[in-house]
Amino acid sequence: MATLITGGGGFIGSHLVDLLREETNESIIILDNFSTGTKDNIAGFDRVEVINGSVCESDIVDGAVSRATEVYHLAAAVGVEKIVDNPLDSLQTNLEGTENVLEAAAEHQVPTFIASSSEVYGKSTAVPFAESDNRILGPTTSPRWSYASAKAVDEAYGLAYHDAEDLPVVVGRYFNIVGPRQSGQYGMVIPTFVEQALAGEPLTVYGDGTQTRSFTHVEEAVRATYELLHDPDAHGEVFNVGAPQPTSINDLAERVIELTGSESEIEHIPYEVAYDEDFEEPQQREPDVSQLEATLGWRPETELDRILEDVIEERREPTVPEAAE
């Protein structure tokens, strides 16, 4: 038997593969269509089988789940830019894909972790966010909120399968997971800032930069993911997975410039210019992790500087020149 990771070629998924290869002797199945992930993230990994396919293909999903002892469902359409530009693709991947995974997991009774997002809290101002808090979303006419709605339905699917089918399910709401291998292609702020700073380009801050986010090192995120699925007390529950250390985007940009030694300046771009006039950006994102800490006995607390240094070091690594023919 094996461990199945949907989206295992992505940023978080590939780090989870790293952890599983260190912690277990089981083989690993990755189901990924590499729409946002990359095969480079898992190149050279042993004990890994890659299925190039989509979670929206129910037959492929069922076949993979039937061979698994546990499932980590990380496949999703991610990134604000991708969601705003392709809301239909986002909805189909996040809704249909999760339903396929859960249906197969219930059929074969395979414990399943569902990756959700802090986006489900919408534009609530009741920080820090607790798992039982009410959610506040904008209008359905704004594509910005389609992702939050879809992930909330994913959570509801998971909890319903737990209750109705006695399926061991855990939901993790990720808060701005960051680290090596993350791409800035779809609007991820830290890799974007680091790449801009190293290139001597202006760091593009959307809005006035006073919005705050809580950044979490990917190593701690995947550790929590793994431990939650293996803790029976966590089954049927929702957990915030994040580091409760909020920082403003302005301060983040300044820190990136300082740590890279860059002479870049900060350029503020209005949201309506970057996206459209209906775009809304939540002002705050900070998790209450008391439930996570009570369950696992620890909480993510890697300092922001360590996260930035890891990303900067990766981006600074020189490429190896091709051998002369």
Instruction: Give tens-digit pLDDT for 224-234.
Output: 999 999 999 99
What mean pLDDT is reported for the chain?
Answer: 92
pLDDT of residue 325: 32
The pLDDT, as a whole number, for residue 276 is: 61
In a domain, 168, yes or no: yes
- How many residues are listed for the chain in this entry? 325
Q: What is the CATH number of the domain that holds 54?
A: 3.40.50.720
* pLDDT (0 to 100) of residue 244: 94
pTM: 0.93
pLDDT at 9 over 60: yes
Residue 216, C-beta contacts closer than 8 angstroms, at least 6 positions apart: 174, 175, 176, 177, 178, 241, 242, 243, 300, 302
Average pLDDT over residues 290-301: 97
Cα→Cα distances 136→56, 126, 154, 171, 200, Å:
29, 10, 17, 20, 39
Does pLDDT of 21 surpass 90?
A: yes
Tell me whether residue 147 is one of the annotated catalytic residues.
Answer: yes
Report if residue 219 sits inside a domain: yes
Interval 83-109: pLDDT, tens: 767 788 888 889 999 999 999 999 999
pLDDT at site 324 = 35
Q: How many domains does the chain have?
A: 1
For the chain, what is the largest distance between any 2 Cα atoms, rounded to a whole number of angstroms? 63
Residue 292 lies in a domain: yes
Q: What DSSP element (H or E) covers 218? A: helix 218-229
Q: Which residue has the tokens 């301060």?
A: 251
The answer to whether position 198 is within a domain reads: no
Q: Residue 192: its pLDDT value, please?
A: 96
Cβ–Cβ under 8 Å, residues 27 and 33: no
Query: How confident is residue 36, by pLDDT bands cut at 50, 70 and 90?
Result: confident
Residue linked to tokens 């004990």: 47
198: pLDDT confidence band, cut at 50, 70 and 90?
very high
Is the four-CA dihedral 128, 129, 132, 137 of positive or negative sign?
positive
pLDDT in tens, 238-276: 999 999 999 999 999 999 999 999 999 999 999 777 666
Residue 308 in any domain: the answer is no
Catalytic member of 72, 121, 147, 206: 147
CB of 158 within 8 A of CB of 103?
no
Residues 6+ apart with CB under 8 A from 258: none
Task: Determine, yes or no, domain membership for 21.
Answer: yes
- The domain in which residue 93 lies consists of 2-178+215-243+287-303
